[in-house]
Structure formats: C-alpha cells, structure tokens
Amino acid sequence: MRILILGGDGYLGWPQSLYLSSQGHDVTIFDNLTRRHFDLERGFASLLPIYTLHERIATWKEVSGKQIQLRIGDTMDYEALSSVFQDVQPEAVVHFAEQRSAPYSMIDRKHAVYTQTTNVIGTLNVLYAIKEFAPACHLVKLGTMGEYGTPNIDIEEGFIEIQHKGRSDVLPFPKQPGSMYHLSKVHDSHNIMFCCKVWGLRATDLNQGVVYGVETDETTQDPRLATRFDYDQIYGTALNRFCVQASVGYPLTVYGKGGQTRGYINLKDTIRCVELAITSPAQEGEYRVFNQITEQFSLLELAEMVTGHSRQLGLETVTTHLPNPRVEAEQHYYNATHTRLIELGLKPHLLNDAVLDGLIRLAITYREQIDRNLILPTVNWRMTKNDVERNDS
C-alpha cells in the first residue's frame, strides 16, 4: 500500500515507518522536525543518540535495500500538505504529527495555544486534504486514553450504550481530559467523527496508553536507526524516568500518592496495532475507536517493579513522593476495555523482567550522559502565586 506517515521522525513515527517499509509498503514521511527544535531550545536530549532524519533514511536503505521517501513540511501549511497528498495519493495516512506532551501544553499560555493550534488545526487540514485529494484513503489517527480521564466506571472503546428515561442510544464515551494536550485530542476526535459522518471518510482513532520500550526488529539492525529514549520531565514517561533514576542512584520520584493508574503498551505492539488498523480498514463513513493498551499499572506499581529489578542488578534504589504538579485523582478506579485489537490479531508483548532489564541496562550504559536537572518537574498545572498576582494587577 501507499502509506503516508505524518510525523514520521518521532519516537513512534520513526519505528512505525521502518516497520511498514519492512512489510513491503511504499512509505512516505512528512515531518517538520519540530520535536528536534524543542530539544535545542531547552537543552534536552534523548538518552539514546538520535541521528538526523536524512541519515536515518539513508541507513535504512543501506541495511534493508528499501527506500523511504521524505517530504519536509508542516500540517499547518495546507499548500505543502496538499502537495504531498496529490503526489503520493495515499491509501492510508498514519497521523502522528502533533505536539504529544501534556506537561508541554501546561507550561504557559503560549505552549497551550501552540498545542491546541497545531493539533486541532493541523488535523483539520489533514481531514480536508483527504476529502479533496484522497477521499478513499483510510485515516489512522493516534489518539490517547487520556481523553477518557479516570471515570468510576469501566472505560469502553470509544462508545457506550446509555439508558435514559426509558430510551437508549449508543453515544461517544464521556470525555474528561486532564491537560490542554488531552483537550486537543478530544477536539480531534470530535472533528474526525463529524467529517466521517458528513463526507463519508473512513477513520480509526487509536486511543493509546503510555508507550514503553525503544527496540523493534528494525531499529536494532543499526545504531543509526534508534528511536528516542526521553527521560526529562516534559517528554519522558514515568517508567523511563524511574529507570534513569535507578541507574544513577537517584530516588524514584512518584508524584503524589502514586495510585494514578494508566494503560500501557510496548512499542512493538504499538507499531503492530497501527498495521492491524491499516490492513483491516474502517468502512466508508465509519469512525471507529480502538483502545490501544495491553496492561494497566499505577505509578507505585511501576516504581516497585523498577526498584525490585534494580536491586537485582546491584543498584541501591529507593522511592520518594513529590507534591503532585498535576491536577488529578491520585487514587481511583480504572478498568479500560481493550479487546478490538486483540480480536484483529494482536499478540501482546507484556512488561516483564526481560523488558525491565533491557530498559534499566540501557540507562546504565548511557548514565554518564544523564542530566539530573531535567528530571524534577517544573511545570505546575495549578495557578501559582505569581499567576494570581499578575491577574490581580
């Protein structure tokens, strides 16, 4: 198939591009390299060295004999987006091209506006490009489990049957996003569902949990093909942060009580889920939602797993609780349905000792490059004293 991958230079987009290329698909990457610019702006860096996108693509051709096409551009630039749609005539579009960090979106007004503008308007541009230039194309859009929040009922896959005053209907599952980033994803979902309804587009919204891991069959073929390992407090996940902290003898920093529970998924399963969505496409006019997770853990459970395995490696590891910079329930019910991808053929890779061992040993290998100043949270969801004084004035 002709597959256009928007955001193909990112943590997920790059291994996804390699995997689909390895399966024989004709892959084109469309990316504006913004994620790299943020690292330069803030002094951040992936723990694993990341080569330029041009070097990555050249390396892939060298080791596999397969060519990935590259177009540098931005989803906010409709002329550039239109051009790549007309040239590629994609049969499937995988949409990763969004600002993906909740802490980033909560830094200040500027970052909140950037997140919502880039994500919502960028996705609207994608929808119009499909409508105008590739109406039969299947959109596979990366959503987030964070759209649902933490309701005190089981989370269904996108929709829920409601009984109300003697009548029933199947409606979108209630949304309770926890950041400006998650709000942007909710807006995306509504816009995509609407466009499927009125234009007859076909789309799969993948509400993904937290992804862990850095290795796939393709990225391990050459160090230049590596994907990102972020551990900083803006883009790093809790599991990455814990593994890095353990490797340098830094206390594992659990926010608040640590009962915050989320869905998780291995990187290998993420790229397989996207393939399953592509090869079993939505029908014309269909908007469908898959919950893309395989397991659920609380922060404390993750910290205990990392602590236990780190001690087996001879590392002295302890856990500390920090005031939670986020506004969220720290102890709550959480049970999310995730059956549709399993039914399509997903065989999950679970978070076991071997995976933990690999992540911790990776952090140990590169621990001389770890910047401890990037770990502690500096972004606060709440209005600070300075905010109040500025508003009063």
Is residue 320 part of the annotated active site? The answer reads: no
The CATH code of the domain at 2-299+328-374 is: 3.40.50.720
- Whether 225 contacts 56, CB under 8 Å: yes
Residues in the chain predicted with pLDDT less than 50, given as ranges, are 388, 391-393
Q: Which of 75, 185, 212, 317 is catalytic?
A: 185
| Per-residue pLDDT, 384 | 65
pLDDT at site 339 = 98
| 185 counts as catalytic | yes
The pLDDT of residue 392 is: 47
pLDDT at 26: 98
Pick the catalytic residue from 181, 212, 235, 250. 181
The pTM (predicted TM-score) of the whole model is 0.96
Catalytic residue among 115, 144, 150, 253: 144
Q: Give pLDDT, residue 389.
A: 53
Among this protein's residues, is 204 annotated catalytic? no
Distances (CA, A) of 314 to 16, 64, 251, 310, 370: 35, 39, 15, 7, 19
Residue 371 vs residues 19, 104, 240, 357: alpha-carbon distances, Å: 31, 19, 14, 21
pLDDT, one tens digit per residue, over 48-88 is 999 999 999 999 999 999 999 999 999 999 999 999 999 99
Cβ pair 292, 330 in contact under 8 A: no
Ranges of each domain in the chain: 2-299+328-374
pLDDT, tens digit, 9 for 90 and up, residues 107-118: 999 999 999 999
